[in-house]
Structure 1
Amino acid sequence: MTEQITLSDTRTWLPLDGLAPGFDASKAEPSHALDGRTITVVDERGTRVTHTFDDGKVAWEYAPGAGDSTAADARTDPCEVFEVDDELFYAQFHHQHHPTEAVSLVLDLRGGHALSIVSVLGEASPGRTAVQQVFVPGRIEGIEQSGPAPAPTTELIGRRVLWVYSSEHAYEHVYLSPHWYTWQCLAGPERGLADTDENSVWRIRPGICVFAWREKVIPCGSVTIADHRDATAIRSHGVLFGADEAGAGATHFTFGAHGRLISTTVHPDAYDPARPLER
């Protein structure tokens, strides 16, 4: 007799560790284009973070600016770098000295812009997911800035996209509003599961967005960057970060996916979820 799965019983959902095997089959080969380079990112507070990349590692130095309560520090962490577009890179590293923090760094060496996303693993509470994410735009020192800086965007709202992570893992995303999206597993160990979770979307270049989400059932979050310019051949690079099965440590792994647009919903202006909320 086939065992029946109670899809609504979230206690039986896979922990993040259970998703990892094979999930990274579509991950791009890491890039070594930044090896030997030092890149300093400065934000509006005057905080300076200097990154020196070298063959799977990043040595970073954090110098806080005015109003930044984070202590000065300097460390070296394992790091993966992925090339998203011409002179556009996504770097991902997990702090060894502080394993409840992971950093996603988007570097636009053509436009001189950067976006840092710090993911912090804590405890979930009513109205608060276990993983919280902080988005910090900045400029790259020594490169003249051109074009718009990274900024929140509503351009994905209404799209339904199929994402294939491996020959066994496939999901669809429906981008609902500036705050919410719905995911459904179409193939893989979570097949049949679905939920609506928090998301944040930032535009990096025309057609290229950072999409980040924070799950409420499984204590995890993700930061991805995706090139949506060809709706039939969307490409993403990302990370999943959250609590391990025992709840005693963190799980952190990078992945990639190939996507395609399935459909687009166009709302009448009066009911457009992209409109600012009125209080």
Structure 2
Amino acid sequence: MSLNLLDTSNWLPLDGLAPGFDANKAPTVQDLAGKELTVVGDGGPMTFSFDDEEVTWTATGYTGTSTHEVFKVAEDLYYAQWHSSVDAGLAVSLIADLANGRGLYIGAHLGRATAGSTAVQHDFRVGTLEGFTATGDAIGESTALIGRRVEWIYSPVHAYEHVYLSPTWYTWQCLAGPERGLADTDSNTVFQVRPGIFVFTWREKVIPCGSVTIADHRDIKAIRSHGSLFGWDEAGVDPVHFTFGAHGRLISVSHHSPALNPAN
């Protein structure tokens, strides 16, 4: 008997997705080791001191020392990610643009879904890096992805497509892997970090999880992303946190009539 895809109780839990999903994750780097970064701005100052394995941090009322992973997104642009060792319901992302002196802190808070909220809520704090010269445009929310349809390959067996609908919503569909045939529309928030480089976050309502990704869309035939997923295990007892990466390509772009454009 075929699986009833409409029965969401059959959907794979986050810990069931994890094995093998990180096959296309980029190598981590040690470029931030020995650096102390201070983000000044909304919710700041926030401090992050990196060594080879750990980050000691203070931000938005939270502090701790945690094992980190750092990915190089572009020249002097880094995505750091860790799961708090003090508060199991918190995962932290830091976007550090050393070339332009700008930073973006994202706190992912894991709770329980309600009728009006998803299990994961994201706290976004934009600022500048103390001791660096701020240049270029400030990091800010963006509608530039709206209308795009992108195919993402996470591993030899995991593939999805994203359709970016509006400032609030996107649709995903699994093209290959254990979730093949599943699809949904979930809430998203997008920030532009540099021209063509975007932080894309989403919060799922069926599976209690959320994600923070950063992707370089400058070459639409060879998009590269780095990300993390954070949510509850199948039993709803223990947090699950893991990082991943994907290779993408632009499939198509929808062009709405100006008066009907959801970006406006």
Q: By the TM > 0.5 criterion, same fold?
A: yes
Residues 235-254 of structure 1: matches in 2 within 5 Å? 235-254=224-243
The residue type equivalent to 1:75 in the other structure is: G
Partner of 1:178: 167
Shift of 1:48: 1.7
Moved over 3 A (4+): none
**Aligned partner of 1:216 among 194, 197, 205:** 205
**Aligned partner of 2:134 among 145, 149, 153:** 145
Shift of 1:56: 2.2
Partner of 2:28: 30
Note the aligned Cα RMSD (angstroms).
Answer: 1.0
1:61 aligns with 2:50: no
Alignment identity in percent? 59
**Aligned partner of 2:261 among 249, 252, 272:** 272
Distance 1:197 1:229, change over 3 A: same
Residues 99-248 of structure 1: matches in 2 within 5 Å? 99-248=88-237
Shift of 1:186: 0.2
The residue type equivalent to 2:46 in the other structure is: V
| Secondary structure class of the residue paired with 2:9 | helix
The residue type equivalent to 1:177 in the other structure is: S
The residue type equivalent to 1:212 in the other structure is: T
Q: Deviations over 1:179-229 (max 9, x none)?
A: 000000000000000000000000000000000000000000000000000
The residue type equivalent to 1:137 in the other structure is: V
Shift of 1:60: 1.5
The residue type equivalent to 1:54 in the other structure is: D
**What CA distance in whole angstroms lies between the structure 1 residues aligned with 2:73 and 2:124?**
19
Partner of 1:65: none
Shift of 1:270: 1.1
Shift of 1:44: 3.4
Partner of 1:52: 49
The residue type equivalent to 1:10 in the other structure is: T
Which consecutive unaligned segments of at least 5 residues does structure 2 have? Answer: none
The residue type equivalent to 2:51 in the other structure is: D
Task: Using structure 2 for the length normalisation, give the TM-score.
Answer: 0.98
Q: Deviations over 1:76-132 (max 9, x none)?
A: 101000000000000001101101000110000011100011110001011210100
**What CA distance in whole angstroms lies between the structure 2 residues aligned with 1:175 and 1:118?**
23
Distance 1:241 1:260, change over 3 A: same
**What CA distance in whole angstroms lies between the structure 2 residues aligned with 1:35 and 1:26?**
24
Partner of 1:17: 15
Q: Which has the larger radius of gyration?
A: 1
| Secondary structure class of the residue paired with 1:245 | coil
| Secondary structure class of the residue paired with 1:195 | strand
Which consecutive unaligned segments of at least 5 residues does structure 1 have? Answer: 63-69
The residue type equivalent to 1:52 in the other structure is: S
**What CA distance in whole angstroms lies between the structure 1 residues aligned with 2:245 and 2:33?**
21
